Copies of this chain bind each other. A is one copy, B any other.
Amino acid sequence: MIDFPYIRDLVQSTPTKIVMLVVDGLGGAPHPDTGKTELETANLPNLDRLAGESASGMTIPVAPGITPGSGPGHMALFGFDPVKYLMGRGVLEALGIGINLANGDIAARGNFCTVDASGRITDRRAGRIATEESVPLVEKLAGIQVPGVEMSVHPVKDHRFVLVLKGNNLGEAVSGTDPEKTGVVPLPASAVSSESRNTAEAVNVFVSRARDILRGQKKANMVVLRGFSRLPSLPSMAARYALKPAAIAAYPMYRGLAQMVGMEVLKTGATFADELATLEKHHSSHDFFFLHYKPADAAGEDGDFAAKVVSLESLDREIPRLLKLNPDVLVVAGDHSTPAMLGAHGWQPVPLLIRSKWTKGEGTGGFSERACRVGSLGTNPATSVMMLAMAHAGKLHKFGP
């Protein structure tokens, strides 16, 4: 929907405020024993009441059957075509640990791995060495210098790290060095297009030095790199929607995503209560807030149905505090489903609520997949959510005479 060709002619700045609460992994699937989803199992008096005074529907994050990663799931909710604006793994890993990538920087996901005496990979994750073991190794790698390129290496978790390259004449079209199987030697990085030749050369020098530095380590005696990527070139939400948008998210990855689309990232704490305090504090200074709630996804990824139910109930208890701010438009959406039954992100459509002064009479009996899918909004691509929110906020002119 970001590509609706006349959008810039339709948007208008108004004093109305939109709060978009993104419940990560919101959608679920019925438990085979009960036939009820996580949302249907949870006791959600406040969300149910909210559904009663909201327009409701379902979103399809990318396309039917497609399971989105966190990147595409959020991009779609922010109104960006997640296929057109696909970001690389390196960028997402960098955002995930809070690295402030500049335009043009190249980020890659790195793994420590184990190779045998002949250089063949025997363990692609170096026995999943603990973070405490990998951090000192990352510090050693950080000393590697390659002429003409500014390199930095950042620990992630366990055997994972991020490599960032800054400099002129860099390109992201570099093939990964991870053969994604054992028993073979790591691949050389190679330039898929000519403007990435310098980058591939620098990467190969880095890898060669890393091998020398790590020689003698029992497990982490080599590295593999993949997902070379740059920040995608994105239109700013501020310009696109005539908004002053802000992001409130405890996790670095979501802050990074928000920054990428031009939101101001507000400093906040580690919990959702902290995020709400931040929202309260800054409520007057912006007209769009992206508020991120993580625990539902984490529980779903763990395959823990009961924990996902608990996480939704915890969220429910915070809803009254959110409603006290009485935003003109309150959106409750999810970036994708994470059914506990799957123990992973899923392809299932995701419930959606939009409350505004125009929705008082159109609610459903509760907040769940089953209730929302017969709601007044119908089932729409997730890229439609921003436009629906803008419409409810009175921020969109009529299209055509």
Contact = CB atoms under 8 A, between A and B. Distances in A.
Interface of A: 1, 4-6, 10, 29-37, 58, 60, 62-72, 82-83, 86-89, 91-93, 227, 339, 341-342, 344-345, 347-349, 358, 360-363, 369-370, 373-374, 376-381, 384, 386-391, 396-401
Contacts of A67: 391, 396-399
Contact of A399 (B66, B390, B391, B401): B66
Contacts of A5: 83
B86 A387 contact: no
Contacts of A401: 69-71, 87-89, 91-93, 227
Given A34-B361, A92-B401, A64 B388 contact: yes
Contacts of A87: 400-401
A91 B401 CA distance: 9
A400 B227 CA distance: 11
Given A30-B361, A92-B401, A361-B35, A396 B345 contact: no
Closest 3 A/B residue pairs (Cβ): A30-B361, A65-B387, A64-B384
A327 to B, nearest CB: 17
Contacts of A6: 83, 86
Given A30-B361, A70-B401, A72-B400, 18 more contacts: A1-B65, A10-B66, A29-B361, A30-B360, A33-B361, A60-B378, A64-B377, A65-B384, A65-B391, A68-B398, A69-B400, A69-B401, A87-B400, A227-B401, A345-B398, A347-B391, A378-B379, A379-B379
Contact of A376 (B1, B71, B345, B373): B373
A4 B66 contact: yes
A390 B63 CA distance: 13
A349 B388 CA distance: 11
